[in-house]
Amino acid sequence: MRSENKPNGKSERTFVDLARRAQLVECAIDAIAELGLPKASLAEVAKRAGVTKTTIFYHFDNREELIHEVFASTLRQAAEFMAARTGNADSRTAELRAYIETNVEYIGTHRKHVRVLTAIAMNFTDEDGRTRLRHDASVYGTSLAPLEDILERGQRAGEFRDFTTRTMAMTIRAAIDAIGPQVSVIPDLDLDAYAKDLVSLFRHATEKRATEKHAVEKHATGKEVRS
């Protein structure tokens, strides 16, 4: 049950409340990154924040709610990082390339946050091994939508061949997410080369072949089109 003094919504939270909540999330991120999810207890988070567990319960109902916020907050930060670097592409092919390169760059420059995302995705489960993450908060929930959008627009523009956009988006996302666990055990993994290989792989997987483009142009104009 919520305390009578606990804010019931974002509109009721003061600047101090928001700052403390953000601090608790950052302390939880540090704890998970250093100790792993199972050992990142509320007592550990409270110790790192210099507060009591009661303070945590003022801002979060339980540990599960805190973990959800850690995951969602980290995903939001990652999305902001991507958005700032992928908005100037002049084609959908270039946009897909920027998406892949920027994701790999994020993994290389935010290794702590990647460890946290990986730890929660793999270990935040119930007794039957099912994820406790809400669907929309997961990496394969609404956060997959921007990538699907790139693929759909590329198909409409005639840059990409016909394929199921969600299947392709899931495949691209899975290939990128496979990097996180690797950098934990191979610190000097060549991420520039990795990004280059992924860009090449998915360019070939998505691009419309010259013969397909030729057939589309011929159908649209009713005459032979030579390049």
CATH topology for 71-221?
Tetracycline Repressor; domain 2 (1.10.357)
Cα dihedral 188→80→9→17 (10° resolution): 60
CATH 1.10.10.60 domain position(s) in the chain: 1-61
Give me the pLDDT at residue 225, please: 46
- Provide the whole-model pTM: 0.78
Cα–Cα distance, 169 to 151 (Å, whole number): 8
d(CA 62, CA 82): 31
At 96 the pLDDT is 96
Cα separation of 70 and 2, whole Å?
20
**Which CATH architecture best describes the domain 1-61?**
Orthogonal Bundle (1.10)
What residue ranges of the chain have pLDDT lower than 50? Answer: 1-4, 11, 214, 225-227
Question: Which regions of the chain carry the CATH code 1.10.357.10?
Answer: 71-221
